Structure 1
Amino acid sequence: MEHLDKRTKMTIMFAVMASMLFAALNQTIVGTSLPRIVAKLGGMEYFNWVFTIFMLTSSVTAILVGKLSDIYGRKPFILSGLAVFMAGSFLCGTSDDMIQLIIYRGIQGLGGGMIMSTSFTAVGDLFSPRERGRWQGLMGAVFGLASVLGPTLGGYIVEHFDWHWVFWIFLPFGFIAFFLIWRLFPHTAQGEKKSIDYWGSMFLVLTMIPLLLAFTWAGKDYGWTSARILGLFAFSAASLLIFIRIESRTSNPVLPLHLFKNSIFSLSNVIGFIMGIGMFGAVMYTPFFIQGVLGTAPSRTGFIMMFMTLSMVFSSTIAGQYITRTGKYKHLALFGLLLMAGGMYSMSLMGLNTSNWTVVINLAIVGLGLGIAFPIFNLTVQNAVDHRYLGVATSSTQLFRQMGGTVGVSIMGTLMFNRMEEKMSLLASKSSAAAANPGVMEKLSQLRDPQALLNPDKLEQIRSGLPPQMTGMFDHIIHALREAMSYSLEGVFFMGALFMILAFLLTFFVKEIPLRTSNREPQPAGDSQEQMGETAPQN
């Protein structure tokens, strides 16, 4: 598609970014509106599955569609993704209970994975690696814009309108994106149709889903050494071994293993995995600090978090322009990761006396680093592989980043809950007044969940149910709990900083090869087909 004129490319990119924005907005809008939806539909015990099912289905389709789009072209899959996503969005708004909503969110995820995978790959079809920096930065800015608009709109809609409109309001936007892609996006099939690797696809799915579920549940719903979690890990490991054997023997593997012989491809995915840990760690656990430790109102929490997103949008746009103009990217990646590490470390120093403005500054630093480094490793992977592997290579970076986020949130969550539990046990053992009154102990035990500090109404309900002589002790315990949460989050953010330092160090080993100025150019020197392991599979 490089031969298209500039105006046509710009129009296609507008349609692609519209598709991305449509999908991203529907992801981010749910967060702030879900408590109200749960209040209407019930099923609080299934709350987390609204997010988990989307992550599972989108991760699976992203990696599978990556390979298929290399064979059949991007257009049919981005159109199918939009159609499935719109159907899922409409159905979500018709849900009568939480189970239906979870099923329909799974359908949304299937479409979302197709859209995300093909959208980033389409940039590679339209532009040479040298030109992609600018557009990868703008695509990152689209995500940032959705992160700002989505939660704000979600809160406004459920407050002033029926909750169904959370899922329906952007449907016209989806139809416009579908029409533009259908009319403007050229067909880019590779020509030769190859057999589909059904067995490899099946065992890739059987590897991913148990692994993601294990890290989602471990440390929260089940212990890390519980039979269920160990069984999921074992099943995933067995499926992985079978998958590797299938891929090494099939003629058209869904995930060509020889790509991992390319050090740039492998290291970039490892770094993306580690970045996912840090990025999701900051996003998921900072609200615990803002609301739980500082006692900031939820309405202001979104405003504070917005500064991270805005700084990410700013830096990703500037960094993309710089890469396109200079062709240099490695020193930018190092600088971005160092900024992220510094921001996360600064967050680990925060405590009860921290001001909201200090949180804003630290989040802005993390966002600046994330915006710089986030798009670069998509670019390094795309530049290091032959163009016929563009789809599967791009989707692999998304998969590793998503899995890093899942693993990171699980590990950091376990660290946080363990530290909170340790502090709570110490607090209970020292509270002789509470120990002498089992009824009081029962009420105070409700505070063992860190989520309680994020719910002022629940705190007030517990406080009002205590005897008058115990309210002073209650207030003292709440203060101690805030200290305990601050201590637990200090460990979470410090761990995030360590992961970013690891990513920073690994980046030194990523070869900086010249960015190609055309998709028709051969791979840059240093990453020859021989080094890539381009050998025929043994049948």
Structure 2
Amino acid sequence: MVKAENWGPVVVVQGDTRADAHGESGGRRTYTHREILKVMSGLLIALMTSMISTSLVGNALPTIVGEFRAQDELAWVASAPLLTMTASTPLWGRLSDLFGRKRMFQLALVVFIAASLLAGASQSVGMLVSARALQGIGTGGLSALTQVILGDVVLPRERGRYSGYIGAVFGVSTVGGPLLGGFIVDAPWLGWRWCFYICVPFALVAFAVIQRVLRHDRDPRDARVDWWGAFAITGGASALMLLLSFGGDEFAWNSGWSFGLGALAAVLVALSVLAERRAADPILPPRLFRDRTFVLAGGASLLVGLALYGAMTYLPQYFQVVKGMSPTMSGIMTTPLVLSLLVSAVVSGRVVTRTGRWKIFPVAGLLLICAGSALLSLLRTDSSGWSIGLDTALLGTGFGFSMQMLVLAAQNAAQARDMAVSTSGVSFFRNLGGAVGVAALGALLTTRVRDEITAMVASGRVPVPAGADLGLGTPDAIRRLSPALQHIVVESFTAAMQSVFLACVPAAVIGFVAVIYLRELPLRSSRNAPAKAG
């Protein structure tokens, strides 16, 4: 006999990778392995589309702000979706508990589609920034709910096989986006607006697939939204990221803006703790933070996100500024990173499904991130492509081994009622780490470049043209400098890049310590209770 175990609206049949969920009329409907693959196809199309939309705009930004004559607003255009994506991530998990996974996933797709159309039709930089912020909200929902839905329809024991594909999609979209963006901007028959329009048909396909294959998963219930918690969590995260994104650039660190945003972030974080303690349906239940696995997995994810987004953001600058490569070629140079991430994510997922053992992968992954970051901190102006490729491949393998396994660990340890909020919480910390990493490492890079240039110009007594901003010039502008000044800029930028990757090493070491203390709970083969240590 096959034994069925109940878990809320889902019934899992042991001995077969099947799950029953409420159908449209409230009846039962079985998800076979083939149907799970169909659900995954819709999730992956949506996830890849949303992630590519975030990364492909980078190559288009100089053209966009040039058309609007708003070079000083470039940081807002780039940062707006990252800010809103991070701040909104924990909200989507709780809302899906209240209103259903399918409804919320489709709502995230609608928000993303509308924002993409608005961004493509923008007539001013202010309209573009607003549309990009709305796009980030949709992206936050898609990235969080993909993991949540996967947790609903696939048992933890089988989940590694599918979560590996999510890690692969994340890496491919992050690196492939800039290549696609460069092609779109360079194509005279397209133009930068198609960087946004191109996402719409794929998002519509994902909407149709989800509508057809994913069933409503919640019974009608009294939905209570934790509005105070939502306001405090999103507001606190947004204030912190605004401070880190624009401090030292748009305003001085020692200024009223810095102190004001810091104080606002602290107050809102304190308010969020009070709100979550009193809420009937908190967005991030305080009991999660009494769960050792959630705290360690979330903390490690934050540090992995810092290293991941830092590498993805600043490696192309090294290739373009130091090596003199085109944007397209610099994207190609990151291929070892994305291929290693793809392969390691898929292979580790399949091994976990086969063996049920998962802890070795985040442990090995953080070690490889440490090694890759340390090796990249030794970059020189004459570093060979082979050595850089090897270093980035180590880094990508580390990301592939660790990202999805940390989500799996948190899902496996969570109570059934906390699976969605636990998943979105870990995703929130990874996105927060990425946002903080990009901002903090960017500030380190800018400061180090300026200091090195100032010191080298003074020691070499090299004349600098009036009005020249050597530290922030575009790659084309740097190549137009005199040989002496170009040498100074390239050497200064290389030294700054060494500092950026060196700063990632202690973060990776702390993440390694965190995953060492994770307990390897057996992966559950049913959904009625969290895993227990054997």
TM-score of the alignment, normalized to the shorter chain, above 0.5: yes
Q: Is the 8 A contact 2:163 2:404 kept in 1?
A: yes
Q: 453, 460, 469: which one pairs with 1:446? A: 469
Q: Is the 8 A contact 1:219 1:410 kept in 2?
A: no
* Equivalent position of 2:127 in the other structure: 100
Distance in 2, Cα, partners of 1:433 & 1:406: 37
* Equivalent position of 1:507 in the other structure: 515
* Equivalent position of 1:182 in the other structure: 211
Q: Is the 8 A contact 1:75 1:187 kept in 2?
A: yes
Q: 1:421 to 1:34 in 2, by over 3 A?
A: closer
Q: Does 1:216 align with 2:245?
A: yes
Q: 393, 403, 420: which one pairs with 1:391? A: 420
Q: Is the 8 A contact 1:127 1:518 kept in 2?
A: no
Q: 447, 455, 476: which one pairs with 2:475? A: 455
User: Deviations 1:181-207 (Å, cap 9, x if unpaired)?
Assistant: 112211112664342211221122221
Q: 1:441 to 1:127 in 2, by over 3 A?
A: same
Q: 1:299 to 1:11 in 2, by over 3 A?
A: closer
Distance in 2, Cα, partners of 1:176 & 1:478: 48
Q: State the shift of 1:383 in Å.
A: 0.7
Distance in 2, Cα, partners of 1:387 & 1:45: 48
Q: 56, 75, 82: which one pairs with 1:55? A: 82
Q: 167, 171, 178: which one pairs with 1:144? A: 171
Distance in 1, Cα, partners of 2:235 & 2:200: 33
Return 265-274 or 40-49, whichever deviates more.
40-49
Q: State the shift of 1:354 in Å.
A: 0.7
* Equivalent position of 1:282 in the other structure: 311
User: Deviations 1:189-242 (Å, cap 9, x if unpaired)?
Assistant: 266434221122112222111111111112332333322112111111111112
Distance in 2, Cα, partners of 1:197 & 1:59: 18
User: Deviations 1:386-434 (Å, cap 9, x if unpaired)?
Assistant: 1221211111111111111122222222322232222222223234463
Q: Is the 8 A contact 1:378 1:394 kept in 2?
A: yes
Q: Normalized against structure 2, the TM-score is what?
A: 0.90
User: Deviations 1:98-132 (Å, cap 9, x if unpaired)?
Assistant: 11111111221121111111111100001111111
Q: How does 1:103-182 map to 2 (within 5 A)?
A: 103-160=130-187, 161-182=190-211
Q: Is the 8 A contact 2:88 2:234 kept in 1?
A: no
Q: 400, 408, 431: which one pairs with 2:437? A: 408
Q: Aligned to 1:17, what secondary structure does the other structure show?
A: helix
Q: 82, 86, 91: which one pairs with 2:118? A: 91
Distance in 2, Cα, partners of 1:241 & 1:195: 22
Q: Aligned to 2:334, what secondary structure does the other structure show?
A: helix
Count matched residues. Answer: 505
Q: State the shift of 1:505 in Å.
A: 1.7
**AA partner of residue 101 (structure 2):** R
Q: 67, 70, 87: which one pairs with 1:43? A: 70
Q: Is the 8 A contact 1:58 1:109 kept in 2?
A: yes
Q: Normalized against structure 1, the TM-score is what?
A: 0.90
When the two chains are superposed, the root-mean-square deviation of aligned CA atoms in Å is 1.8
Q: 1:433 to 1:192 in 2, by over 3 A?
A: closer
Q: 1:222 to 1:326 in 2, by over 3 A?
A: same
Distance in 1, Cα, partners of 2:116 & 2:462: 52
Q: Aligned to 1:514, what secondary structure does the other structure show?
A: coil
Q: Does 1:67 align with 2:74?
A: no
Q: State the shift of 1:526 in Å.
A: 4.7
Distance in 2, Cα, partners of 1:190 & 1:486: 57
Return 187-196 or 247-256, whichever deviates more.
187-196
Q: State the shift of 1:343 in Å.
A: 0.9
Q: Is the 8 A contact 1:144 1:309 kept in 2?
A: yes
**Identical aligned residues as a percent:** 30
Q: State the shift of 1:76 in Å.
A: 0.5
Q: State the shift of 1:166 in Å.
A: 1.9
* Equivalent position of 1:470 in the other structure: none
Q: Does 1:477 align with 2:485?
A: yes
Q: Does 1:523 align with 2:530?
A: yes
Q: How does 1:290-369 map to 2 (within 5 A)?
A: 290-369=319-398
Q: Is the 8 A contact 1:127 1:519 kept in 2?
A: no
Distance in 1, Cα, partners of 2:225 & 2:389: 49
Distance in 1, Cα, partners of 2:290 & 2:462: 64
Q: State the shift of 1:515 in Å.
A: 0.6
Q: Does 1:31 align with 2:51?
A: no
Q: State the shift of 1:9 in Å.
A: 1.5
Q: Aligned to 2:113, what secondary structure does the other structure show?
A: helix
Q: 220, 236, 259: which one pairs with 1:230? A: 259
* Equivalent position of 1:531 in the other structure: none
Q: Aligned to 2:248, what secondary structure does the other structure show?
A: coil
User: Deviations 1:120-162 (Å, cap 9, x if unpaired)?
Assistant: 1100001111111111110111122323432222222222223
User: Deviations 1:461-490 (Å, cap 9, x if unpaired)?
Assistant: xx4xxxxxxxxxx31232122222222211
Q: Aligned to 2:469, what secondary structure does the other structure show?
A: helix
Q: Aligned to 2:466, what secondary structure does the other structure show?
A: helix
Q: 241, 247, 257: which one pairs with 2:270? A: 241
Distance in 1, Cα, partners of 2:113 & 2:55: 15
Q: Is the 8 A contact 2:345 2:401 kept in 1?
A: yes
**AA partner of residue 88 (structure 1):** A
Distance in 1, Cα, partners of 2:242 & 2:211: 36
Q: 49, 72, 77: which one pairs with 1:22? A: 49
Q: Is the 8 A contact 2:520 2:533 kept in 1?
A: no
